[in-house]
């Protein structure tokens, strides 16, 4: 039997190009499947990065399962307890957010009285038992105690961090916030200024200094100075930017002679010239 003219065919009657195309498609699908499996397995591998990602996504159960898995890459067991404590703290914050913080402070002996917060405390204390100088364990425990209203205990934990890491910005700043809550205002100023010296471009430190001078020290000149520096950085991701701007504008109106001489870059000029009303001619 004579084959018809055209493309060559296989013994089963399929053209060679079709067979080749099918093979290419199959290979691509196989590679895509392998890539998807690797990506999926990589996402759920017990690494610090994956745990942090799940924590950001508020998938607390999944994050805890990775922390507690045998193949975790977190290192020694103290790190495991710290990460687990951090997850339980985030869980407690989320629960309080859902409650809109209505129950916060009802227990005068424990303002942050939640099972999740208490679980976090147990885990962080266990981490410190294993490693007395674990800076992260002391830091998160200090943050937890500050929320609970246990200010003296929080101070102890923050100071433990600074013994190990004297230039730790977050601890210096939160120690300043803690001293503000304790009305130890000169110490609060000292710690916030130290933090600013270490991180001069940190807008959060500038904001806290502005609030300290504005609401606690009664120094509108210094309050405006720090608020202006904060606004010049333009930290759009900070939820307090509107509050700072409002306070700064009110102080500028109230104390015009104390407005800082530094540039007010946040007060951007109008992009277009304001339209003037055409004079009435009677025509």
Q: What is the pLDDT of residue 107?
A: 96
Mean pLDDT of the chain: 83
**How far apart (Å, rounded) are the C-alpha atoms in residues 222 and 211?**
10
Per-residue pLDDT reduced to its tens digit, 132-146: 999 999 999 999 999
Looking at the domain assignment, is residue 68 inside a domain?
A: yes
| Cβ partners under 8 Å of residue 124, min gap 6 | 81, 82, 85, 137, 140, 141, 144
Q: Which domain holds residue 84?
A: 22-197
When pLDDT is cut at 50, 70 and 90, the band that residue 50 belongs to is confident
Q: What is the pLDDT of residue 277?
A: 42
Q: Quick one: average pLDDT of 261-274?
A: 71
Looking at the domain assignment, is residue 11 inside a domain?
A: no
Looking at the domain assignment, is residue 217 inside a domain?
A: no
Looking at the domain assignment, is residue 16 inside a domain?
A: no
Looking at the domain assignment, is residue 13 inside a domain?
A: no
Looking at the domain assignment, is residue 75 inside a domain?
A: yes
Q: Work out the angle at residue 85's Cα, subtended by the Cα atoms of residues 82 and 86, and round it to the nearest 5 degrees.
A: 85
Q: Over the range 65-102, which residues count as b (16 or more CB within 10 Å of their CB) and which as e?
A: ebbeeeebebeeebbbbbbbbbbbbbbbbeebeeeeee
**Count of structural domains, the chain:** 1
Question: Which CATH number belongs to the domain containing residue 153 in this structure?
Answer: 1.25.40.10
Q: What is the pLDDT of residue 275?
A: 43
Q: Over the range 162-177, which residues count as b (16 or more CB within 10 Å of their CB) and which as e?
A: beebeebbbbbbbbbb
Looking at the domain assignment, is residue 132 inside a domain?
A: yes
Q: What is the pTM of this model?
A: 0.76
């Amino acid at each position: 039997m004579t084959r018809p003219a055209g493309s060559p065919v296989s013994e089963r009657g399929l053209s060679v190009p079709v067979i080749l195309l099918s093979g290419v498609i199959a290979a691509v699908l196989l590679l895509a499947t392998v890539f998807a499996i690797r990506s999926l397995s990589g996402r759920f591998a017990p690494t610090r990065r994956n745990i942090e990602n799940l924590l950001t996504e508020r998938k607390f159960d999944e994050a805890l399962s990775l922390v507690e898995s045998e193949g975790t890459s977190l290192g020694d067991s103290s790190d495991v307890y710290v990460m687990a404590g951090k997850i339980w703290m985030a869980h407690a914050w989320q629960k309080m957010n859902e409650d809109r913080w209505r129950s916060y402070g009802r227990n005068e002996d424990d303002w942050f009285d939640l099972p999740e917060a208490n679980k976090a405390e147990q885990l962080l204390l266990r981490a410190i038992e294993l490693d007395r100088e674990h800076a992260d364990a002391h830091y998160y425990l200090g943050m937890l105690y500050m929320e609970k209203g246990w200010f003296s205990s929080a101070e102890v934990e923050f100071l433990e961090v600074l013994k190990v890491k004297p230039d730790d910005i977050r601890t210096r700043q939160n120690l300043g916030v803690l001293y503000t809550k304790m009305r130890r205002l000169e110490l609060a100023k000292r710690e916030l200024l130290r933090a600013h010296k270490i991180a001069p471009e940190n807008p959060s430190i500038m904001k806290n200094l502005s609030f300290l001078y504005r609401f606690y020290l009664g120094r509108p000149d210094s309050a405006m100075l720090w608020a202006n520096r904060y606004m010049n950085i333009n930290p759009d991701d900070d939820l307090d930017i509107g509050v700072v701007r409002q306070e700064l504008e009110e102080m500028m109106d109230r104390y015009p002679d104390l407005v800082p001489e530094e540039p007010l870059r946040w007060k951007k000029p109008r992009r277009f010239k304001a339209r003037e009303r055409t004079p009435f001619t009677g025509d």
